[in-house]
Structure 1
Amino acid sequence: MYFLSGWPKRLLCPLESLAEAPCHVQSDPQRTFFAVLAPARLSIWYSRPSVLIVTYKEPAKSSSQFGSYKEAEWRPDSKMIAVSTANGYILFFHITSTRGDKYLYEPVYPKGSPQMKGTPHFKEEQCAPALNLEMKKILDLQSPIMSLQSVLEDLLVATSDGLLHLIHWEGMTNGRKAINLCTVPFSVDLQSSRGSFLGFADVHIRDMEYCATLDGFAVVFNDGKVGFITPVSSRFTAEQLHGVWPQDVVDGTCVAVNNKYRLMAFGCASGSVQVYTIDNTTGAMLLSHKLELTAKQYPDIWNKTGAVKLVRWSPDNSVVIVTWEYGGLSLWSVFGAQLICTLGGDFAYRSDGTKKDPLKINSMSWGAEGYHLWVISGFGSQNTEIESDPNSIGKQPGILLFQFIKSVLTVNPCMSNQEQVLLQGEDRLYLNCGEASQTQNPRSCSAHSEHKPSQEKNSFADGGLESQGLSTLLGHRHWHVVQVSLQLLLTIDLVLGKTASGADL
C-alpha cells in the first residue's frame, strides 16, 4: 500500500525563457541522479538533497542541426548518458568528477551538534558531488528516434523507418546491421511452426521496454498493436528474433514491465491498462488483469482521461502509476487494486470561476525506494497564469516532487498482526495502534455485557462483538509519527551499501 504524503514540492529550474522549460526526466539505474531534459539543455540533479549539479546547454547552431532533445537513457554504471533528438541524432555525454576531492554541496553543522566527519564514506552519503558533462560522440541515424533502451553494454534504438539499431555505448555499431521489423516473424505463441510478418506499411515501434526476467522486449507499434520480442539464441539478429502478440489489443499507446512478477502493462487509447504475462509452456501472451476506472466510481470518465500517456512501476515492483492524456494520476497495486486517483478530487477554481484541469504530466520517474516521484508537468489551461506572469518565481515551470509513504507489508507480508499499521517514509515512520484489547479479548467484553439487556446479548452472539471490535479498529485515526534522525539514516545507508557490495561489516 502506497499513500501520498503532503503537497508536492517544486524544484525550480534556472530558466532564461519558458521555451527552456523541462520536458523529460529519467533516473539512473541506482536512482541517485536524475537527467532532466529541456529542448536544448541537459541537466543532472542529485536525489538527496534534491539539488541541481551541472547543466549542458547546446549552442544555437548545433541545436538547429540536431533538433530538440527528446529522451535520455543512462548507461548501467551511470557514467554516460545517451540523448535522442528530434532530427534523428543520438548524443553521447560522459559524466566525470571535477575539483578533485571537492564537493558541490556539503552540510554545515552548528557548534555542539553531533559531527559525522569521522564516519567512513561520510561525504559520499551526505554531500552532492561536483560533476562535469562533456559531449563525446554524435551518431546520426537519419530517421526520427522513437524509443531507446539500455541493454547491458549496448543501446537498443527504434527509429521511425522500422529499424532496430544495436549500438555500443561508445557510439559504434561494431559492424552489426540494423534489424528491419518486417523481417521478424510474429505468432500467437512460440510453438507455432511459422509466424507471420508485419504486413502493414511504415511499421515502427513507438515505445518499448526491456524485461530482464523474460529476456525480451515488450513493444507497442505505431498502429496500436502490442507484442513481445525475444531472441531465440544469444545472438541479436533478425534471424534469431521471434515475436508473440495478443490478437485483441489494437489501441496500445505505451508499455512498462515488471521484472519481479514478469508482467507487461500496456496503456491503451481507451484509458485502461492491460497487464499481460508470458505462458511458461507455450510462450503466448496471457491477459492477467486490467486497470480501468469505472463509470460507477467516476461518472463521465471517458471524457476526462483520454488515452493512457505514461505507465511506471515502482522500484520495488509493488505498485504502478498511470497518467492520461487529459491529465490525472492514479496508483494501483501490482494485481489491480486502485490505491489513489486524483480524478475524483475537487480541483481548485480560477479567479473567473472556471474550473482548473487535472495536472497534466509529460514525464515522470521514481526515486530511490519509491519514496519520491519526479514529475515534469505539462502546459495547458492550468498554466495560463505562468504565461501571463513569467517573472513570478512561485509560478515558474519546474520539477514536481511527490512524496510517498508505504506500508511495511508491501515487502514484508504478515497475516497475524492486523491491529497495528506501520507506514514508512524516507525519514519518518507512521504507527497506527488499533484497539487490540477489544478485538483479541472477547471474554472481558462479554463479561461487561452480562448486565446489558437480552437484546444486546443476542447481537453479541450473532457476531456483533466482532463487528464492534472491527469498527473500533477502523475508526482509530491516531498516528504516532517517529522522526528518524539523519545520523541513523546515514548509518543504515552505509550498512546496506556494504551488504550489497559484499564487504565485511
Structure 2
Amino acid sequence: TEKGYVIYYKVVIDKPKGSFFGSISDEDPCEYLIRVNTEAQFEFPLVRIKLIQDNVLHIGSNIQGLINLGPDLLVADDKGFLYRISWDGSLHQQLTLSISTLSYTTSLSSNRVFKIHKPDLYAKYIEFSPLLNGIGIIFSDGTSGLIICETSKFEPQQCQCIVIQPSNDEKIWKTHCCVALNAIYQLLAFGSTNGQGLVYYIDELTASLQLAFKIQLSVENFP
C-alpha cells in the first residue's frame, strides 16, 4: 500500500460435496451447481472462494512494486530499497538491496563499474523472469536496466545492474513506465507514457542491452 503495508490474504476454497461432473438426473447432485450446457444437461460445481486476511507487514515507506521470486517476495519502496520478505510476513534484512550501493555497468565485458549517487533515486517499476534469472527495473530518474545475479538467491553482494545507455531521444528515454521480459528470445520491452516502446536484446558477446526495435502506436490506438 502507499502507507508501506504488505497485506497477506489466505485463499480458502469451499469445495462442493459432489463430484466435478454431474447431471440433473443424479440422485445425489452437487451442492452448488451451475448449468453450462442446457442441451446436454451437464452441470459444473460453482466453487466458493473466500479471502481471509492472514498477516500484515509494515515496511514503513511507500511501496512502488512487488514481485514474486518464488520462495520470497521482492518489495520496492520510494526510499531506494528492495526488500526481501517471506510469505509468512518476515523480513530478511540481510538480503535487502540498496540502490545506492548496487554496482552498475553498461556491459559485463567491460571493467567499468560505477555507483549512482542520488539520494532520491528509487525503483518505480520491477519485473522478474526466473528463466533469465534477472529483474527488469525502471528507476525514478528514467534510467532502466536489468539486475542480474550469479545465483538465484539474489544476494546483495552478488547482484549487478546492466543499465541501458541513454538514447539520443531524451524525451522517450525519460518516459519509461513499465517493463516486460521475454526469456525465450531474451528481450526486454520498455513501455513509455507517450505510447512508444523500446525493445532491447541481451547481446551475448558484450553482455549488454542493445536496441532491437521500436514500437510506435498509431493515433487510432493511442490518442
1:108: Cα distance to partner?
Answer: 6.5
Amino acid at match of 2:6: I
Letter of the 1:156 partner, please give it.
L
Correspondence for 1:107? 35
What is the rounded CA distance, in whole Å, between the counterparts of 1:246 and 1:103 in structure 2? Answer: 57
Deviation at 1:176, TM superposition (A): 3.4
Residue 59 of structure 1 corresponds to which residue in structure 2? none
SS in 1 for 2:138: strand
2:118 is equivalent to residue 200 of structure 1: yes
1:364-394 deviation line (CA, Å, top 9, x unaligned): xxxxxxxxxxxxxxxxxxxxxxxxxxxxxxx
Matches of 1:151 and 1:202, distance apart in 2: 26
Distance 1:342 1:261 in 2: 26
- Please identify, of 174-183 and 243-252, the stretch whose mean Cα deviation from structure 2 is larger: 174-183
Larger relative helix fraction: 1
Letter in 1 for 2:34: E
Q: Is the 8 A contact 1:103 1:129 kept in 2?
A: no
Query: Partner of 2:196 in structure 1?
Result: 272
Partner residue, 2:9: 93
Name the CA distance, whole Å, in 2 between partners of 1:89 and 1:281.
43
Q: Which residue of 2 aligns with 1:146?
A: 64
Alpha-carbon distance between aligned partners in 1 of 2:182 and 2:157, rounded to the nearest angstrom: 27
Pairs within 5 Å for 1:71-90: 85-90=1-6
Out of 264, 281, 290, the position equivalent to 2:205 is 281
What amino acid is the match of 2:221? T
Aligned to 1:221: 139
Query: What is the aligned counterpart of 2:181 among 241, 257, 266?
Result: 257
The residue matched to 1:182 in structure 2 has which SS? coil
Does 2:157 align with 1:248?
no
Q: What are the residue-to-residue correspondences of 1:482-493 with 2, within 5 Å?
A: none
Instruction: Report the CA distance between 1:199 and its aligned residue.
Output: 1.8
Q: For CA contacts below 8 A with separation 6 or more, give which structure has more relative contact order.
A: 2
Q: Rate the CA distance shift 1:210–1:108 in 2: closer, same or farther, 3 A.
A: closer
Q: For residue 268 of structure 1, what is the amino acid of its counterpart?
A: S
CA shift at 1:178, angstroms?
1.7
Residue identity opposite 2:55 in structure 1: K
Q: Residue 134 of structure 1 aligns with which residue?
A: 52
Contact kept, 8 Å, 2:4 with 2:58, in 1: the verdict is: yes
Distance 2:10 2:76 in 1: 22
Kindly indicate whether the alpha-carbon contact (under 8 Å) linking 1:103 and 1:130 is maintained by their aligned counterparts in 2: no
Counterpart residue number, 1:162: 80
> What residue identity is the alignment partner of 1:114?
A
The one-letter code of the counterpart of 1:98 is D
Alpha-carbon deviation of 1:166? 1.1
Q: CA deviation at 1:267?
A: 1.6
**Counterpart amino acid of residue 97 in structure 1:** I
Identity, % of aligned positions: 27
Once the two structures are TM-superposed, the CA of residue 138 in structure 1 deviates from its matched residue by: 0.2
CA contact (8 A) 2:83 2:93 kept: no
Residues 307-334 of structure 1 deviation map (CA, whole Å, 9 limit, x = unaligned):
xxxxxxxxxxxxxxxxxxxxxxxxxxxx
Is the CA contact (8 Å cut-off) linking 2:95 and 2:156 kept in structure 1?
no
Matches within 5 A, 1:322-401: 341-343=220-222
Using the TM superposition, give the Cα deviation of residue 270 of structure 1 relative to its aligned residue in structure 2, in angstroms: 4.4
Structure 1 residues 126-166: Cα deviation after superposition (integer angstroms, max 9, x where no partner): x4410111101000000000000011121111011100111
Q: What's the CA shift for 1:233?
A: 2.8
Cα distance in 1, alignment partners of residues 33 and 160 from structure 2: 50
Q: Give the secondary-structure state (helix, strand or coil) at the position aligned to 1:274.
A: strand
Structure 1 pair 114/208, CA: closer, same or farther in 2 (3 Å)?
Answer: same
Instruction: Work out the CA distance in 1 between the residues paired with 2:184 and 2:12.
Output: 32
Distance 1:174 1:217, change over 3 A: closer
- Name the SS for the 2:100 alignment partner: helix
Question: Aligned AA for 1:93?
Answer: Y
Helix, strand or coil: the match of 1:183?
coil
SS at match of 1:219: strand
Q: Note the C-alpha offset of 1:116.
A: 3.9
Name the SS for the 2:94 alignment partner. coil
Contact 1:213 1:262 in 2 (8 A): no
Change (3 A) 1:129 1:206: same
Q: RMSD value over aligned CA atoms?
A: 2.2
SS in 2 for 1:261: coil
Distance 1:103 1:145 in 2: 42
**In structure 2, what is the equivalent of residue 237 of structure 1?**
155
> For each residue in 1:439-488, what CA deviation from the matched residue of structure 2 results, as whole angstroms up to 9, or x when unmatched?
xxxxxxxxxxxxxxxxxxxxxxxxxxxxxxxxxxxxxxxxxxxxxxxxxx
Equivalent residue letter for 1:95: V
Contact 2:35 2:41 in 1 (8 A): no
Stretches of structure 1 that go unaligned for 5 or more consecutive residues are: 1-84, 118-122, 299-340, 344-357, 359-505
Q: Which has the larger radius of gyration?
A: 1
Match of 1:186 among 104, 108, 111: 104
Instruction: Tell me which protein shows more strand as a share of its residues.
Output: 2
Q: Are the aligned partners of 2:36 and 2:42 in contact in 1 as well (CA < 8 Å)?
A: no
| 5+ residue gaps, structure 2 | 18-29, 168-172
**C-alpha separation in 2, matches of 1:193 and 1:281:** 15
